[in-house]
Structure 1
Amino acid sequence: MEIYDYIIIGAGSAGCVLARALTDNPENKVLLLEVGPHSDRFWVDTPAGMAKLYFDKELNWNYFTEPMPALRGRKMYWPRGKGLGGSSSINGMIYIRGHRSDFDNWRALGNPGWGYDDVLPYFKAIEHNERGADEYRGVGGPLWISDPAVKMSSSFDFIESAHRMGIPRTEDLNGVLHDGVGFMQHTIRDGKRQSAYVAFVKPVLDRPNLTVRTGCLVERILFQNKQATGVEVSANGEKKTILAAREVILSAGSLNSPQVLMLSGIGPHEELQRHGIRQVHDLPGVGQSLQDHFYVHTAWRSTESSSYNRNIRGLWKYLEGARYLATHGGYLALGTSQVAAFVKSRPDVEYADLQISFRPMTFTYHSTGQVEVDSEPGMGVSVFILRPRTTGAVTLRSANPADTPKLTPNFLTDEDDVRAMMSGLRQIRKIMTTEPIASHVISEHIPGPHVQTDTQLLDFMAETGNTAAHQTSTCRMGRDPLAVVDERLRVRGVERLRVVDASIMPHVTSGNTNAPSLMIGAKGADMISQDAVPRRRIHA
């Protein structure tokens, strides 16, 4: 019989940080379970390889939402990481913590210990920022944070144009001034992706108290008298039971964590009953409160020197590949976007509710799954709403753990969200037609100058809008009737079970969500160690 102190379900961003932190104590015996494969691969390590991983069949869940009436009945593709490192092995590597007020609002919602001043030390502890330490930045941590390997002239001019529109410059989007425009930093070290697995787990694989297993589908969490006692796992066609002497920790992400809870008998009574699942505890909030950043992309035909499209397609891409192999520099060493501007959709908003991102390249997703860099020079500018009012749900398709969950985000069903997004699109146009970036522009390609009215903009968003892949809040933390975990991340109504990942966010943060997911892993590990649940007596 296999027995571990802690069983971590999911080797994504939070799970990898947990595994590292809990095994810092040699007394803890930890099992890290991942349904996907190993992720030590060239295109995972290479930042520009993100395009090749977008539809990857092995390292990506390749989810689709349910049809959405507000999006003309469209199903939306939702990529999620499946493998060691989770989504941090396939994402755009952008490192944005969020606004100070995001976390202060978490605390105000009945979650003591989660204000900005509480979480800042955990952010700093996990980081090694190449810019050096200051009041906001950390050094000496496992995760390398770096500036873009190549900063294009068009990126500098985008910042200047935004500044001329009244958006303040900021030298550090994770520092004292979040609401402004400046270069983003990325989880890249010496030209290679720093996934959570690479940064936190790979360096400690030789620890005798850490076991990492891939290809393991957790079918359900096991309970005895409302205490989590272990997991039932399917691997290589066989089922086995693995026991936890201290705790089971669910870190499967905002889509899979609620799915595993419901398959295990914890969730809304009606949902469990519908699928014939024996109820362990009626917890109405499981899978509810789903939030995501709705994202719209614009593209601009540009002068050749403003874009690196040419350098990463055709024969040129082989030269760039040789450059990367020789130096780990150049355009293949870049994350997705270079610059971000955090802006308000209207003056009376408390703090920025839109993120505008700029990249000096453009690409097209084909229905075949191929991601192709555009043949003409171009610049891409996107916007997403940071604090959506819309919420959705994750529910079960069936009681079969191998079936994908049902994902219903309800995008574009809130009028305020729609108005905010329209404001973002119009602000993009103002920036791109302001000097000096205006001199780089030849024409507006997407959506095109013919799209002007509110109705036309709404049609454009409904037909082309996408996910920023920042799903959160499906097992959210709090004290209201739909809260799933308390401020110690313990699942309400049961014992020895916690959720530690982005699903616990009371609301989504203002920016890309990988950095706060890593912080949640670090803070969660600290709380687990502080609480030190005594070992259960297990008889073989």
Structure 2
Amino acid sequence: MRRTMDQSTETYDYIVIGAGSAGCVLARRLSEDPGSRVLLLEAGPEADQFWVKAPAGMARLYFHDQMNWNYFTEPMPQLHGRRMYWPRGKALGGSSSINGMVFIRGHRSDFDTWKSLGNPGWGFEDVLPYFKRMEHNERGADAYRSVGGPLWISDPVIRHPASTDFIEAAARIGIPRTEDLNGELHDGVGFMQHNIRHGKRHSAYMAYVEPVRARSNLTIRTGAFVRRILFEGTEAVGVELLEGGELHRVAAAREIILSAGALNSPQILMLSGVGAPQELQRHGIAQVLASPGVGQNLQDHFYVHTSYEATRESSYNHEITGLRKYWQGLRYLLTGKGYLALGSSQAAAFVKSRPEEPYADLQISFRPMSFTYRGDGVVEVDDRPSIAASVYRLRPAGTGTVTLRSADPREAPAFQPNFLSHADDVRAVIQGIRTIRQILGTEPLASRVIEEKMPGPQARTDDEILEYMRAHGNSAHHPSGTCKMGNDELAVVDERLRVRGARRLRVVDASIMPHVTSGNTNAPTMMIGEKGADMIRQDAIARRT
């Protein structure tokens, strides 16, 4: 057996690759044992910029050249050959440092389905304690929520009247009200909560790592680009990384945990020789372990945006444009409140696209403002009073792939999400747009609307709405599933998140989801980090000698 490490190599007990939503949780929990040395590696920079901390700063981070991987998909035939922009966080906190801060766990049946697919310990009652351990909910504790955890969960500092009217209008067409979208009743309409603390983004890094960064047994390296995992046989022994323009090797005495996210974790595995044999051969990569599911089962939420010109008091566009934006900036700096302290969406409705669905398969999100993505990378608030709603199918039938372009780690992988490739996804999203129109056409919201701008009156038939979806639909930026957990031939990890066929190697991030959860994915990804850390400590693999 070839030795890839030697006695002089720098060694840690655990190496965590990726300081994102799961990786930060792992670093905090694994370093709670003072006898374990933990190394957290992040390819991006620190995340202490003002626009990271200010919730409204997410617009400035959408195309950031240092804190974002700025990925694009492959051309998609179903979307007229469009290449879709796919932002991914590249900084301490990962995507939790650039996202919209929406805190949605998902439906209890999501996790019960994971369990039914051969993953004991992942049902809703199994994962609920980890969700509760994570959070400090400003509303207090109950059977579903908790206080005292690292992550602050808060209500919007401003509950805009138009958002209240959205909830009322949805209720009038039969959607039940819920006081807590993460509580007993998930299917319904209500205000969202966000991971915002005292007016500032509370990312995974800010919640989990920043308070314990001084621990002597926790080492954090930014600008550390992992090229591959090093193996002796099928045992993971270390990582090879670029840091400051120099190549380094670092050894792991116990385990390597891959938490680079659903787009980068499969890439790193394949570059390391773990993947489908034909994919590795295509790029001349020596096979360490045949794992045909690596990069398969890619799932994401296909997102369709609608906007409506509205009465002035129905929108806060005018508050964050022109001269008034400077007043809002001063207000935010002095108080931590105002419109710059809000997350991306105010309210949401979880509804069925048809009666026979077992539980809600559509998420409709509402915001009393609107914006446009410009071609030069600027996200710009619209200058006219407008409100907006979006919809996506929660459990898409279509799946895609992550594959390599080359054996060069610096070259982005090829992403093919296959949006709108399944008839059920098309049907459901069309119904979602019709449901948005129904809600926006119901009082008390209807009298706030002046005119539908997007899709507009030219999109009335199913075919016309589908054409709008093909031309304007986007990603909700919730990729998952590419190193899925299970026991079938495409399962990459087992229920303990250990890479099947390998030793001392786990994947702990959104890529292990057998199916994407019903809602925004940041909260369940952090839960995976909490549960993964517990399993690693319970298994307590002996140190390599």
TM-score (norm 2): 0.98
Q: 1: CA distance between counterparts of 2:110 and 2:172?
A: 27
Matched ranges for 1:436-455 at <5 A: 436-455=444-463
Query: Which of 481, 484, 488 pairs up with 1:480?
Result: 488
Q: 2: CA distance between counterparts of 1:482 and 1:291?
A: 14
Query: What residue in structure 2 maps to residue 281 of structure 1?
Result: 289
Q: 1: CA distance between counterparts of 2:338 and 2:448?
A: 21
Other structure's SS at 1:247 match: strand
Q: 2: CA distance between counterparts of 1:227 and 1:531?
A: 16
Offset of 1:318 from its aligned partner? 0.3
Offset of 1:236 from its aligned partner? 1.1
Offset of 1:190 from its aligned partner? 0.3
Q: Deviations over 1:427-448 (max 9, x none)?
A: 0000000000001101101110
Matched ranges for 1:245-324 at <5 A: 245-324=253-332
Q: Deviations over 1:123-151 (max 9, x none)?
A: 00010000000000010000000000101
Counterpart AA for 1:406: A
Matched ranges for 1:111-510 at <5 A: 111-510=119-518
Query: Which of 31, 34, 41 pairs up with 2:49?
Result: 41
Offset of 1:224 from its aligned partner? 0.5
Q: 2: CA distance between counterparts of 1:427 and 1:493?
A: 47
Q: 2: CA distance between counterparts of 1:445 and 1:24?
A: 53
Counterpart AA for 1:403: E
Counterpart AA for 2:35: E
Q: 1: CA distance between counterparts of 2:276 and 2:263?
A: 16
Query: Which of 70, 73, 79 pairs up with 1:71?
Result: 79
Q: Deviations over 1:443-489 (max 9, x none)?
A: 10111012101111111000000000000000000000000000000
Offset of 1:78 from its aligned partner? 0.3
Please list every run of 5 or more consecutive structure 2 residues that lacks an aligned counterpart in the other structure: 1-8
Offset of 1:505 from its aligned partner? 0.3
Q: 2: CA distance between counterparts of 1:398 and 1:409?
A: 19
Q: Deviations over 1:393-416 (max 9, x none)?
A: 000010000000100000011011
Q: Deviations over 1:181-209 (max 9, x none)?
A: 00000000000000000000000010000
Query: What residue in structure 1 maps to residue 537 of structure 2?
Result: 529
Q: 2: CA distance between counterparts of 1:314 and 1:82?
A: 31
Counterpart AA for 1:119: V
Counterpart AA for 1:286: V
Q: 1: CA distance between counterparts of 2:319 and 2:37?
A: 48
Offset of 1:419 from its aligned partner? 0.2
Offset of 1:246 from its aligned partner? 0.0
Query: What residue in structure 1 maps to residue 3 of structure 2?
Result: none
Q: Deviations over 1:261-288 (max 9, x none)?
A: 0000000000000000000001000000
Q: 1: CA distance between counterparts of 2:447 and 2:132?
A: 40
Counterpart AA for 2:308: W
TM-score (norm 1): 0.99
Q: Deviations over 1:343-401 (max 9, x none)?
A: 00000000000000000000011000011100000101000110000000000010000
Other structure's SS at 1:480 match: coil
Q: 1: CA distance between counterparts of 2:296 and 2:205?
A: 29
Q: 1: CA distance between counterparts of 2:36 and 2:478?
A: 32
Offset of 1:237 from its aligned partner? 1.1
Offset of 1:417 from its aligned partner? 0.5
1:513 and 2:521 correspond: yes
Offset of 1:507 from its aligned partner? 0.3
Q: 2: CA distance between counterparts of 1:352 and 1:120?
A: 20
Q: 1: CA distance between counterparts of 2:457 and 2:108?
A: 37
Q: 2: CA distance between counterparts of 1:248 and 1:413?
A: 36
Identity across the alignment (%): 68
Counterpart AA for 1:482: L
Q: 1: CA distance between counterparts of 2:299 and 2:458?
A: 32
1:28 and 2:41 correspond: no
Counterpart AA for 2:205: Y
Other structure's SS at 1:384 match: strand
Counterpart AA for 2:214: D
1:57 and 2:81 correspond: no
Q: 2: CA distance between counterparts of 1:506 and 1:414?
A: 18
Other structure's SS at 1:44 match: helix
Q: 2: CA distance between counterparts of 1:505 and 1:146?
A: 26
Offset of 1:253 from its aligned partner? 0.1
Offset of 1:225 from its aligned partner? 1.9
Counterpart AA for 2:165: D
Matched ranges for 1:71-90 at <5 A: 71-90=79-98
Other structure's SS at 1:443 match: strand
Q: 1: CA distance between counterparts of 2:109 and 2:36?
A: 35
Q: 2: CA distance between counterparts of 1:228 and 1:91?
A: 32
Q: 1: CA distance between counterparts of 2:165 and 2:157?
A: 17
Other structure's SS at 1:463 match: helix
Please list every run of 5 or more consecutive structure 1 residues that lacks an aligned counterpart in the other structure: none
Query: What residue in structure 1 maps to residue 6 of structure 2?
Result: none
